[in-house]
Amino acid sequence: MTVNDPGEVHAGSGVSPVTAGIGWRNTRRRFGWVAMAFHWLMAVGILFTFGLGLYMHSLEVGVEQFELYQLHKSLGVTILLLAVLRLVWRLFNPVPPLPPGMAGWERGLAHFSHYGLYVLMLLVPVIGWCVVSVSPLGLPTFLYNQVEWPHIPFLTTIENKEAAEAAFAEAHEVMAWILIFLFVLHLAGALKHHFISKDDTLRRMLPTKLAE
């Protein structure tokens, strides 16, 4: 086993290459700690933020709804920043290949869901930022009630703010639902690989003990 590639295991060692030591960076066999942290933090964050969005829309206008909107916006900005960092990390790290033996349609579906998730993890919060920036109310965004997040400057000067806000809000909602659909598709694929195909696709994104 080499220092630079903790996922590589010598033949006959009796150690699974997937459950071998995990480093910060990805290897050709599995994901590293940084990629795993991005993956699971964003998965939880996306589900929670989506659920929060549904709940806050069911509330009457008031203090509770305002506070939840602020939390929703804070989480959206956090997801956007994490998505950018995750994309940068992915560009400079090897990505373990898809398991051999997958049918062409399975590979196509896997690539479609992965690329779609990356695009929407960026677009959904950006469109939400547009909604806030163009809103006639002009309410500020305070990240976790601590730091003010600026509006997008050129959107604050639009004349017909009501129409623009409605258009951005609808796009934000539709894209959020598509993101959740791809999220479920991605989860179903991972579970299929683990329980039906019985390969290492899911385990290589889990910490060592959970992957065993």
Q: What confidence tens digit (pLDDT) does each residue in 57-101 have?
A: 999 999 999 999 999 999 999 999 999 999 999 999 988 998 888
User: Is residue 188 included in any domain, yes or no?
Assistant: yes
CB 26 within 8 A of CB 36: no
**Confidence band for 190, pLDDT divided at 50, 70 and 90:** very high
Q: How is residue 190 written in tokens?
A: 């991972």
Report, as an integer, the average pLDDT of 149-172. 96
Summary mean pLDDT of the chain = 89
Report, as an integer, the average pLDDT of 183-193. 95
Q: Specify the number of domains making up the chain.
A: 1
Amino acid 211: pLDDT: 55
Amino acid 205: pLDDT: 93
CB 146 within 8 A of CB 169: no
**pTM for the predicted model, two decimal places:** 0.86
Report, as an integer, the average pLDDT of 190-198. 93
Name residues whose C-beta falls within 8 Å of residue 25's C-beta, 6 or more positions apart in sequence.
Answer: 32, 34, 93
Count of CB atoms situated within 10 Å of the CB of 203: 19
User: Is residue 37 included in any domain, yes or no?
Assistant: yes
User: Is residue 7 included in any domain, yes or no?
Assistant: no
User: Distance between CA 23 and CA 3 in Å, rounded?
Assistant: 9
User: Is residue 28 included in any domain, yes or no?
Assistant: no
User: Distance between CA 176 and CA 81 in Å, rounded?
Assistant: 17
User: Is residue 58 included in any domain, yes or no?
Assistant: yes
User: Distance between CA 134 and CA 132 in Å, rounded?
Assistant: 6
User: Is residue 122 included in any domain, yes or no?
Assistant: yes
Is residue 15 predicted with pLDDT exceeding 60?
Answer: no
Write out the residue range of the structural domain in which residue 94 sits: 33-211
Report, as an integer, the average pLDDT of 162-175. 98
Name residues whose C-beta falls within 8 Å of residue 27's C-beta, 6 or more positions apart in sequence.
Answer: 5, 6, 7, 8, 94, 96
C-alpha closest to that of 101 among 10, 11, 198, 185 = 198
User: Is residue 124 included in any domain, yes or no?
Assistant: yes
User: Is residue 14 included in any domain, yes or no?
Assistant: no
**Confidence band for 28, pLDDT divided at 50, 70 and 90:** confident
